[in-house]
Amino acid sequence: MLIVDNALARRHANDDPIRVGLVGAGFQGKGIALQCLTAMLGMRLCIVANRHLQAAVEAYTQADIQPTVCNTQAEIEHAIRLGQPAVTEDALAMARAEGLDVIIEVTGSVEFAAQAVLAAIESGKHVVHMNAELDGTVGTILKAKADAHGVIYSFSDGDQPGVQMNLHRFVSGLGVEPVLCGNIKGLHDPYRNPTTQEAFAKRWGQKPAMVASFADGTKISFEQAIVANGTGMHVARRGMLGIDFSGQQPDAPLVPIEEAAQAFEPYLEQTTTGLVDYVVGARPGPGVFVLGKMEDPRKRHYLELYKMGKGPYYCFYTPYHLCHFEVPNSVARAVLFNDAVLAPRAEGPYVGVVAIAKKDLAPGEEIQAFGGYEVYGVAENMPAIRDEALLPIGLAIGARLIRPVKKDTALTFDDVKFPEGRLIDRLYREQESQAAANRPSTPLLDEMGP
């Protein structure tokens, strides 16, 4: 990224690298580690934390580096001082350790990730993450805590929400008003599960449930929710419009995004905040797009000259997202420029992701995973979530049904019992209390557990 590359080159020349700790050594974590270890000047991956130590070791050995194993915070701090690459199973000790500038969190969990992120923030470290599930559940309160400690809390470059926000900022910088942030998706089937996605997951070395969360719409719901929370936008309806141009045919020709985006224009006339949404069966995928609006006829004249069309709506798009290749740029933006790629606005959240039954659910069943067999997630505006006491899917994982719920029905807080003592529940309550300061007539959801 421009500016960032020169700033990192200066840090390299001064032998003053940004010191990074990585939480998570799965598919994305290993990719981020490889990028940091082989392509980034002015940045040092000091330590990798993972529940299974061997995966953390492999994050280094893929670059022919043999790390040392650390079991305590003191050992971690000693390795950092010596410049010795290290691994640990204790993510909280790493998050609290002195000597690191920033933590990258890429576990895809919620409860565990919340603990690691909060520990890093409270220890004065910047946090860059790829965890839309965490951010879409309690991101607003984590951002408030980061602000209070004078550090940056940010989603990452490279993943689609970050690419959308970069594009949103670019469009705004042109003097064009962003009115829709969109994602381009190749498949949407809310009933996909780990069994249906097992072969694809095996081919790419990913977890079947994680792959299913992309196919069933949970992931894109979280991604668009956090874009909404960073921009002040909303969804047009529960689940978004999700306009499908594929005709449900895998081999159907793809529609150019400039043409596909026109289908949203009637809905934009009905909103003053702007919308987040997605399309299926458009190209270029898996890219992102932003619709901007321009009323000034003089500027529309220039935009038409530059082949953007007659307006008043204009489609800007990025044809790719390169995930772990771009995450280190987010680290540099946070540490060197105090610039978040994407973070929730203080007055939010505006949009959440609620749990919908993927099948008929019976009392006693446990909701086990994003992309699992029990529920899928859909984006919904926060007023509706509060008014109907809808269950955020980020809180649903690990909960048990206490009464039956029919397939395709939205779950409520009254439908489940939560595990006791979870940080994620306490953070959600605190986030709702913070939001209620501006909405004193809205009841809090006090039935969530301790």
According to the model, what pLDDT value does residue 5 have? 94
According to the model, what pLDDT value does residue 198 have? 84
**Any idea where the domains of the chain sit in the sequence?**
4-159+324-337, 160-320, 351-448
pLDDT tens for 307-335 read 999 999 999 999 988 988 999 999 999 99
For domain 351-448, the CATH architecture is Alpha-Beta Complex (3.90)
d(CA 138, CA 134): 6
d(CA 263, CA 149): 44
pLDDT tens for 195-225 read 889 888 788 778 888 788 988 999 999 999 9
d(CA 329, CA 159): 12
User: What's the chain's average pLDDT?
Assistant: 94
According to the model, what pLDDT value does residue 444 have? 42
Cβ atoms 201, 208 nearer than 8 A: yes
Q: Which residues of the chain have pLDDT under 70?
A: 1, 248-250, 439-450
According to the model, what pLDDT value does residue 2 have? 80
Domain 4-159+324-337 matches domain 351-448 at the CATH topology level: no
pLDDT tens for 44-58 read 999 999 999 999 999
Q: Which CATH class is domain 4-159+324-337?
A: alpha beta
Encoding tokens for residue 264? 């949203």
According to the model, what pLDDT value does residue 249 have? 64
Query: What letter would DSSP give residue 243?
Result: E
| Chain Cα centroid distance, residue 433 | 23
Q: What is the CA radius of gyration of the chain?
A: 22
According to the model, what pLDDT value does residue 248 have? 61
According to the model, what pLDDT value does residue 229 have? 98
According to the model, what pLDDT value does residue 76 have? 98
